[in-house]
Amino acid sequence: MAYTHVQTFNPEILYAFDPLNEAGNCSKTHSHNFLEISILLEGEADYLVDGSRQDLRTGTVMLFNPGVKHAERQKEGTFSHQLHIGLTNVSLNGLPRNHFPNKRALLDLGCYADAFMEKAWRVTKEFNEQRSEYQLMGKGLILEMLGLLLRSLEDGSDNTLPPALSQTAVRQQHLVNHAVYYLENHHSEEITLEQLAQQLFVSPAHLS
């Protein structure tokens, strides 16, 4: 089963920025209430990730689920060029909102690493150049990057959590996704809660 339901999977990109970090740069230990992907485009960085300090090199990819603590610092004589992407409105089958199925933040993309980095560089270029429709191009590229991340996590990875939601929560998730989908596809009509409920085979009280 795919993690995504393609029609209703519509993440919001909160930011995509690519700082150049010089020696002395550092961030305190923090976490987010959304999803963050951090990519070392160039250079090296010292990260607190998965509970320990690690020296990370070019090509490292980290995916921080909500609440996962991390920090970084730039050691003397080093620099790094990183891309950080913040995402919300991420709904994967069987997982809590804005969660990916990885246990550890440090990812091993295996055979998908080169394609992933190529897209990361193109996102960087789009967001820096800001040509017309750059946000749409960025969204397309980021959806592909998420697809590659999910593929790498599905390919017999030991870094994949089993579905975390109860059956009831999964049913609720599907109900909400389909309500949004129905609304998206009936823009031009007048819709009542009764009609929406009828489409979803629930009582209107369920939706109000």
Q: Taking the complex as a whole, how short is the minimal distance between the CB of residue 80 and a copy of itself, in angstroms?
A: 27
Please state the closest distance from residue 151 (CB atom) to a copy of itself, in A.
6
Out of 136, 166, 171, 198, the only residue in the binding site for a copy of itself (CB under 8 A) is 136
> CA dihedral in degrees (169, 174, 175, 181; nearest 10)?
150
Q: How far apart are CA 44 and CA 41, in angstroms?
A: 9
CB 20 within 8 A of CB 149: no
Phi, psi at residue 122, to the nearest 5°? -70, -35
Q: Pick from 64, 75, 77: which is nearest to 29 by CA? A: 64
Nearer to a copy of itself by C-beta: 47 or 112?
112
CB of 22 to a copy of itself, least distance (A): 32
Cα separation, 152 vs 49, whole angstroms: 20
Task: By CB under 8 A, name the one of 35, 83, 87, 150 that touches a copy of itself.
Answer: 150
Among 12, 22, 55, 118, binds a copy of itself (CB under 8 A): 12
Residue 3 to residue 11: CA distance in whole angstroms: 13
Tokens of 39: 């990519």
Q: Is 35 in the site for a copy of itself (CB under 8 A)?
A: no
Is residue 167 within the footprint of a copy of itself (CB under 8 A)?
no
Residues that bind a copy of itself (CB under 8 A): 2-4, 6-7, 9-10, 12-13, 88-89, 91, 97, 131-133, 135-148, 150-151, 154, 173, 176, 179-180, 183-185, 187-188, 190, 192-193, 208
